Amino acid sequence: MAAFFAELLFDFARSLVGDWLRQAVLALCVWLEPHIHGRAARFVVGGLLGIAAYLLIPVVIGLLGL
């Protein structure tokens, strides 16, 4: 029974952390967009963010156990 409740608690914590992380990334991107001027700069920053996400998403998923 304790394992069942522990599993429910872990699932709940995972959903909270995942939702919080998504909101934080969205807030960062919304803040960053008006500060970048020029199409080339937006492509460069978008590419860097894409590479960072490509490298960090598997790490975060592994840490959360998803």
Beta strands in 1-66 (DSSP E): none
Helix, coil or strand: residue 36:
coil
* Digit-coded pLDDT (tens) for 25-66: 788 878 888 888 888 888 888 888 888 888 888 887 788 776
Instruction: Provide the whole-model pTM.
Output: 0.51
Q: Has residue 5 got a pLDDT over 80?
A: no
pLDDT at position 66 is: 66
d(C-alpha 11, C-alpha 34), whole Å? 36
Token pair listed for 2: 């304790």
* Digit-coded pLDDT (tens) for 17-26: 777 878 887 8
